[in-house]
Amino acid sequence: MNVTKKKYLIAYFSRPGQNYVSGRIVDLKVGNTEVVAKKIQKKTGGDLFHIETIAAYPKDYTETTAVAKNELRTQARPKLKRKVENMGVYDVIFLGYPNWWGTPPMAVFTFLEGYDFSGKTIVPFCTHEGSGMGRSEKDIAKSCPKATMLEGLAIHGTNAGSAALEVSSWIDKLGIL
């Protein structure tokens, strides 16, 4: 049998600091999306890549919502700290992000516009406070039309820590392992 094992990348944006979780402000040491990204890593054995902007977002939740709103309005493309040097080797890219005003943070689009995803599969996942995936899947598909996109997973931020089973059965259902 000649089975070549697929290579998985888990690229995610996640912002630690103050966040709004189930109606109150809490200080997250590790962002919710990062928590989920690590569960996907455990399940797939893939490589983790943190999409991080050079300019840090404020620790304060309300200040961050204002910065993010302005970035969305201007369709900003914040500069990133680093690139995936060997994107060519990956077959499947899990793409994680928090829902920010209904779509991924603009830094996720900086990331997507930096590579050629022809022939690759993108699997989105997000954490949120009630809006689910919002319009993120549509916006991502527009940004990388040459990729195949599979059904995403939305996890309420509060449940990030206990989502292992949900993550596992979602990946099993996708049939990509």
Ligand X SMILES: Cc1cc2nc3c(=O)[nH]c(=O)nc-3n(C[C@H](O)[C@H](O)[C@H](O)COP(=O)(O)O)c2cc1C
Considering the complex, what minimum distance in angstroms separates the CB of residue 164 from ligand X?
A: 16
CB of 159 to ligand X, least distance (A): 10
Q: Supply the minimum distance, in Å, between the C-beta of residue 27 and ligand X.
A: 11
Least Å distance, CB 130 to ligand X, is 4
CB of 106 to ligand X, least distance (A): 11
Residue number, 47 or 129, with CB nearest to ligand X: 129
Nearer to ligand X, 21 or 176 (CB): 21
Q: How far is CA 21 from CA 24, 25, 56, 86, in A?
A: 5, 6, 21, 36
Closest to 127 in 3D by CA, of 150, 148, 94, 104: 104
Please give the backbone phi and psi of residue 126, each rounded to the nearest 5 degrees, phi first: -140, 160
Among 150, 165, 129, 173, residue whose Cα is nearest residue 42: 165
Closer residue to ligand X, CB minimum distance, 131 or 148: 131
| C-beta closer to ligand X: residue 27 or 116 | 27
The residue ranges that bind ligand X (CB under 6 A) are: 14-15, 19-20, 28, 31-34, 61, 64-65, 68, 98-102, 127-131, 157
Mode of pairing for the β-strands spanning 8-12 and 47-50: parallel
Question: Going by DSSP bridges, is the β-strand pair 148-149/121-128 parallel, antiparallel, or unpaired?
Answer: parallel
